Amino acid sequence: MNYSYLKRDCWLEIDLDLLRGNFMAMKNMVGPNIKVMPAVKANAYSHGIVACGKELEACGADYLGLGNIDEAIMLRENGVKMPLLIFAGNLIAEVADLYIKYNLIPTVFTYEHAKAISDAAKEPHPIFIKMDCGRGRLGVDAEDFPALFARIATLPNVRVEGVYSHMCAVNWPDKASTEYGEWQYKRFSSALAAIGPAAEKIPFRQLANTPASIALPELRMTGICPGRAIWGFSPLEKREGHPELKMPMVAWKSRLLHVHDVIGGKFGEGGKAKRLDTPLRIGVMAGGVSDGISTKQEHGSVLVCGKRVPVASAICLEHTILDLTNCPEAKPGDEVVIFGRQGTEEISMDEVRKFWEKDLMSFWTAITPHVQRVYLRDGKPCAVTSGDRLEEIK
Ligand SMILES: *Cc1c(COP(=O)(O)O)cnc(C)c1O
């Protein structure tokens, strides 16, 4: 193996073929007439915005939904031309010029937002209006949407290209009380009905997230916005009609930087310094707390030489110390698996996540950007992140 594309020996492996498979599963499920806007907020749920954004553009996604203008600018600087929506991450008036300069679609829910964009634009700029229909978070109250829409229609340099909402509490219809979901849908559709034929002229009308777009086909309207499904997860029970999804984040790996026998270190109770009567063979791997490894991992294990090996002491900021007593053949440069496969052994992401007591979103987004993301195509490394940059691997 040649690792010369790594600048630091701690990396995530992300399979772009599986990412494409998830997108296509959702696209095939809804059919050609419904647009798909994958949610790629939070650095593509930590998978890396540039490589994943480019892949989803190549797959034929209609829009991407981002949480952050900086990540949208990175996509533009990497040649992504497709429409990009910013969910809501700023007070729009303060950065209206960036929306125009980089051709980004803002999420507006006040007249002032829309006016700031109209004032900054030289020609009608696309905007999405967000409604709150029961999530209790961002958006204009559904009942106030018609009045807001009428005021925005008087502005010369905005064009309402989308109207959307974020549903909550969605499940298979037989699994839960459908009352809350129906209430949200009713608020959304009544708000649209109240503006009459103008509603039909808004191309993107969307309120379905991952579970709604799978479980409630009648809510797909003209578009869906799946987040978790794109990254291989759905909260629904798997049954007939559920698309097949696989997690593209297939492994988190590191390498041994140093292997030696030590006669002292932080091997005591609670990480206290302690002299040892007999030497302990340790391996030091790249990757610690600053990479997103939980301090709970001090009682965890990893794979080295195809075997489970325990962590020997408290997790450092940049390193983890392994107890190689049962793996004397290990040497510097050997691969370490935090989750993933090695030979016939496997530590699953789920096992690590549960051991660290994290929900999936916290687990993914805790993995910091200085863990390099290595992208696989046909099972082989094809690109790698290095800081903000994405570098091809020849
Ligand atoms: C994150 C997000 C989604 C995706 O939600 P999932 O349930 O994970 O599919 C949809 N809409 C908005 C506005 C979001 O922020």
For residue 226, the CA-to-ligand 1 centroid distance in Å is 6
Q: What pTM did the predictor assign?
A: 0.96
Closest-lying ligand 1 atom to the alpha carbon of residue 228? 8
What is the mean pLDDT of the segment spanning 335-350? 98
Closest-lying ligand 1 atom to the alpha carbon of residue 229? 9
For residue 227, the CA-to-ligand 1 centroid distance in Å is 5
* Residue 293, pLDDT score: 98
- Residue nearest (by alpha carbon) to ligand 1 atom 12: 166
Q: Is the dihedral of CA 57, 63, 67, 69 positive or negative?
A: positive
Residue from 209, 216, 221, 242 to probe ligand 1 pocket by mutation (most atoms less than 8 Å from CB): 209
CB-count exposure of residue 330 (10 Å: 0-12, 13-18, 19+): buried
- Residue nearest (by alpha carbon) to ligand 1 atom 5: 227
pLDDT digits (tens, 9 = 90+) for 301-328: 999 999 999 999 999 999 999 999 999 9
∠239-240-245 over CA atoms, to 5°?
70
pLDDT digits (tens, 9 = 90+) for 364-390: 999 999 899 999 999 999 999 998 899
Residue from 108, 225, 247 to probe ligand 1 pocket by mutation (most atoms less than 8 Å from CB): 225
pLDDT digits (tens, 9 = 90+) for 239-285: 998 999 999 999 999 999 999 999 999 998 888 999 999 999 999 99
What is the percentage of the chain residues whose pLDDT exceeds 90? 92
pLDDT digits (tens, 9 = 90+) for 130-178: 999 999 999 999 999 999 999 999 999 999 999 999 998 888 988 877 8
Cβ–ligand 1 distance for 209 under 6 Å, the answer yes
Cβ–ligand 1 distance for 48 under 6 Å, the answer no
Domains of the chain, earliest start first:
16-231 (3.20.20.10), 249-358 (2.40.37.10)
User: Reduced to 3 states, what is the DSSP secondary structure of residue 67?
Assistant: coil
**Helices marked H in 202-267 — which ranges?**
210-215
For residue 65, the CA-to-ligand 1 centroid distance in Å is 9
Cβ–ligand 1 distance for 130 under 6 Å, the answer no
CB-count exposure of residue 316 (10 Å: 0-12, 13-18, 19+): middle
